[in-house]
Amino acid sequence: MRTQVGIVGGGPAGLLLARLLGLAGIDAIVLERRTPEYLRARIRAGLLEQGTVDLLNDIGVGARLDRERLIHDGVELAFDGQRRRIDLKALSGKSVTIYGQAEIQNDLMDAHEAAGTPIVYAAEDVSLHGLTGEQPHLRYRKGGKSHDIACDFIAGCDGFHGVSRQAIPPDVLRIYEKVYPFGWLGILSETPPVNHELIYNNHERGFALCTMRSLTRSRYYLQVSAEEDAAHWSDDRFWTELKGRLPPDVAARLVTGPSIEKSVAPLRSFVAEPMRHGRLFLAGDAAHIVPPTGAKGLNLAAADVRFLAEALVAHYKTGSAQLLDGYSTKCLARVWKAQRFSWWMTSLTHRFPDASPFERRAQGAELAYITSSRAGQTTLAENYVGLPFA
């Protein structure tokens, strides 16, 4: 087999890239380890920047998104028994969109099915070869048989635990990492959201986030220890703990119900530099992870892919390698700003087990400052809605 761009990973980054390339007349094959059923049901992100919504519209997969999304003009921070709203729209001119990653995954898979994009699901033992030569190739197994795909370029879109980043020699990669001493326990339930906008709660029992997927489906997260097992959390235990962390007026109107999903995600900041090695280009979680507090992971993946598709299209149309050569630097400039914001939002809203009384008081003062100063609110708003692409 041969293709122009071999894509490892059929999550949002891989499928967005395949669609952008397909629309530009560039061949791509996607190798994905999981089954379609698994991918369609996987629940993760929920908050999209306008730039991500624009990209989905540009590639013709925005119809259901436009019908079903919720648009939020503000967000709340709750601490010390108070609630403070940040008016995103007034301060930054932009809003954010609530639309689940599972819905985007389904919309992208439907579009690819209609377009006939070659996507190999349940591909086993994917490996990358010849990255610094003229013709790299991908190898994988399926149905007991081994297959080989010769490519011009390979895009590593296989997430944090994928094989693409590991195919880069360790002496070439620089890793920057921060692991947090806690995780997020998330649940999804068929209940109306407790508030019409998101509430990020800093409480002495730990952080809690109230978010949603629709007007009838809620998503809540609790800060828990990094080793916590979701199996130890009955629905009752979760709802009781959540109520304990919300301001009393909010807790009083929380509607509870059976959970549809419950899982723990560890929190980590991670960047691998550079995002290119020879003819391999990394995009999305394969190259960087942010703690979820700023809701930046999926949005960053979409931004990487937008730059990578532009660079590949320029290469095939004009023969110029300029954009491909600048890809890593251009992505990393934006990635580091989102890293900084995600780390800062995490530091502002979570309870750190080893924080000194001084650090705790300073955190309280920072929350009071950020939410009361127009400059502070604007800083939060312009990062939260998404920094410009240039």
Tell me the catalytic residues: 72, 200, 292, 296, 384
Decide: helix, strand or coil at residue 237. Answer: helix
191 binds ligand DHB (CB under 6 A): no
Q: Which is nearer to ligand FAD, 40 or 64 (CB)?
A: 40
Q: Which does 273 bind (CB under 5 to 8 A by kind): ligand FAD, ligand DHB, none?
A: none
Residue whose CB is nearest to ligand DHB in the complex, by number: 46
284 binds ligand FAD (CB under 6 A): yes
Q: Which does 291 bind (CB under 5 to 8 A by kind): ligand FAD, ligand DHB, none?
A: none
Omega within 30 of 0 (cis) for the link into 291: no
Is 75 within 8 Å of 85 (Cβ atoms)? yes
Q: What is the DSSP string of 286-306?
A: GTEE--GGG--HHHHHHHHHH
Name the DSSP letter for residue 381.
H
CB atoms inside a 10 Å sphere around CB 81: 9
10 binds ligand FAD (CB under 6 A): yes
| Residues near ligand FAD (CB under 6 A), total | 37
- Output the smallest distance, CB 71 to ligand DHB, in A: 14
295 binds ligand DHB (CB under 6 A): yes
By DSSP bridging, strand 28-31 and strand 2-8 are parallel
- Output the smallest distance, CB 47 to ligand DHB, in A: 4
| Sequence-distant (≥ 6) Cβ neighbours of residue 147 within 8 angstroms | 1, 139, 140, 141
363 vs 121, 349, 350, 355, 358, CA distance in Å? Answer: 46, 8, 9, 10, 9
- Output the smallest distance, CB 261 to ligand DHB, in A: 11
| Residues near ligand DHB (CB under 6 A), total | 9
Is 279 within 8 Å of 132 (Cβ atoms)? yes
Q: Say how far apart CA 123 and CA 35 lie, in whole Å.
A: 9
47 binds ligand FAD (CB under 6 A): yes
- Output the smallest distance, CB 86 to ligand DHB, in A: 13
Q: Which amino acid is at 41?
A: A
Site for ligand DHB in 200-229 (CB under 6 A): 211, 219
Select from 351, 59, 36, 388 the least CA-distant residue to 206: 351
Q: Say how far apart CA 323 and CA 311 lie, in whole Å.
A: 5
Residue of 111, 272, 295, 332 that binds ligand FAD (CB under 6 A): 295
Q: Which does 232 bind (CB under 5 to 8 A by kind): ligand FAD, ligand DHB, none?
A: none
Decide: helix, strand or coil at residue 194. Answer: coil
Q: Say how far apart CA 112 and CA 24 lie, in whole Å.
A: 14
Piece in contact with ligand FAD (CB under 6 A), picked from 128-136, 175-183, 291-299, 369-377: 291-299
**Segments of 237-351 assigned E as strands:** 259-273, 276-277, 280-282, 288-289
Q: Which amino acid is at 184?
A: W
386 binds ligand FAD (CB under 6 A): no
108 binds ligand DHB (CB under 6 A): no
Angle ∠(381,382,387) on CA atoms, nearest 5: 145
Q: Which does 219 bind (CB under 5 to 8 A by kind): ligand FAD, ligand DHB, none?
A: ligand DHB
12 binds ligand DHB (CB under 6 A): no
101 binds ligand FAD (CB under 6 A): yes
267 binds ligand FAD (CB under 6 A): no
Q: Say how far apart CA 273 and CA 74 lie, in whole Å.
A: 34
Burial (CB < 10 A; 0-12, 13-18, 19+), residue 37, is: exposed
Piece in contact with ligand FAD (CB under 6 A), picked from 55-63, 75-83, 245-253, 290-298: 290-298
293 binds ligand DHB (CB under 6 A): yes
- Output the smallest distance, CB 168 to ligand DHB, in A: 28
Residue with tokens 């127009």: 374
Q: Which does 293 bind (CB under 5 to 8 A by kind): ligand DHB, ligand FAD, none?
A: ligand DHB
299 binds ligand DHB (CB under 6 A): no
Q: Which amino acid is at 154?
A: I
33 binds ligand FAD (CB under 6 A): yes
Q: Which residues bind ligand FAD (CB under 6 A)?
A: 8-14, 31-34, 39, 44-47, 101, 123, 126, 157-159, 161-163, 184, 186, 265, 284-285, 292, 295-299, 301
Q: Which residues bind ligand DHB (CB under 6 A)?
A: 45-47, 198, 211, 219, 292-293, 295
